[in-house]
Amino acid sequence: MKIFFLLSGFIYLSNCFAQDVITKKTGEDIQAKILENGIYEYKYILFNNPDTSVKTIFKADVLMVRYQNGKKDIYSGDRRTEYYPDTNYSKALFDKGKEDATRFYHGDDPAVAGTVVTTIVLTPIGGLVPFIACSSVKPKDHNLNAPDLNLIKRKDYHDGYVQRAKSIKNRKLTKFFLISSGIYSVTILSLMFISLAQK
């Protein structure tokens, strides 16, 4: 019975410490635990790394994946052209960028704070200037909060991410502009009523 428990414990521990290896076309090996084998990409976490954020690598960048159980996925040639026509691959990257922006971009842009302060201090008409200026500009790359710095370097992914991030930023700008305009209007009306009441 003791042997059974020792053997079970050993098997459990060996599975806990097992790892997958992703070999990129550049020759770089990534020690990982693969969480998802998608149509266009692998989702994984780095092995033996305190950073447990989920990372993504596109199959077009992968040469081989060696799973902890001995199974292998080998990609010969350029999978991008062999299995994924450019239009589908580009669209998948673009859509993935939009999806990630929805999850990770929060619209915490200095433009929002500047618009609110200007609207409350200078009047809603004065706040229109930064509101219009900020809503016409795409978010800066350092404000994007992209989950994967390698992925954001890809043009199609970047374009999709920025397009959705701009939409999120504009919704947030509009919301806070309207709220700060309301605060300004209520404050002015309150001051007028107080002034009239004192006469």
Q: Which residue has the tokens 């700008």?
A: 173
pLDDT of residue 3: 59
pTM for this predicted structure: 0.55
Architecture of domain 2-84: Roll (2.30)
pLDDT, one tens digit for every residue, the chain (199 residues): 565 544 454 444 444 456 899 988 888 889 999 998 887 788 999 888 877 788 888 887 888 898 888 888 887 654 443 334 445 667 888 888 899 899 999 876 677 788 888 888 888 888 888 888 888 888 888 888 888 787 888 888 899 999 999 999 889 888 888 988 898 889 889 988 898 888 7
Helix or strand (DSSP H, E) at 113: helix 110-122
Q: Which residue has the tokens 């500047």?
A: 114
pLDDT of residue 78: 46
Residues 6+ apart with CB under 8 A from 18: 68, 69
Would you say 19 and 49 are in contact if contact means Cβ atoms under 8 Å apart? no
* Interatomic CA distance for residues 86 and 61, integer angstroms: 14
* Interatomic CA distance for residues 58 and 67, integer angstroms: 17
* Interatomic CA distance for residues 194 and 199, integer angstroms: 9
Cβ atoms within 10 Å, residue 125: 10
Instruction: Give 25's DSSP letter.
Output: T
User: How far from 8 is each of 123, 141, 172, CA to CA, in Å?
Assistant: 71, 49, 54
* Interatomic CA distance for residues 143 and 180, integer angstroms: 23
62-66 and 41-46 strand pairing: unpaired
User: Where in the chain are the domains?
Assistant: 2-84, 110-198
What share of the chain has pLDDT > 90, as a percent? 11
Cβ atoms within 10 Å, residue 157: 26
**Cα 23 to chain centroid, rounded:** 24
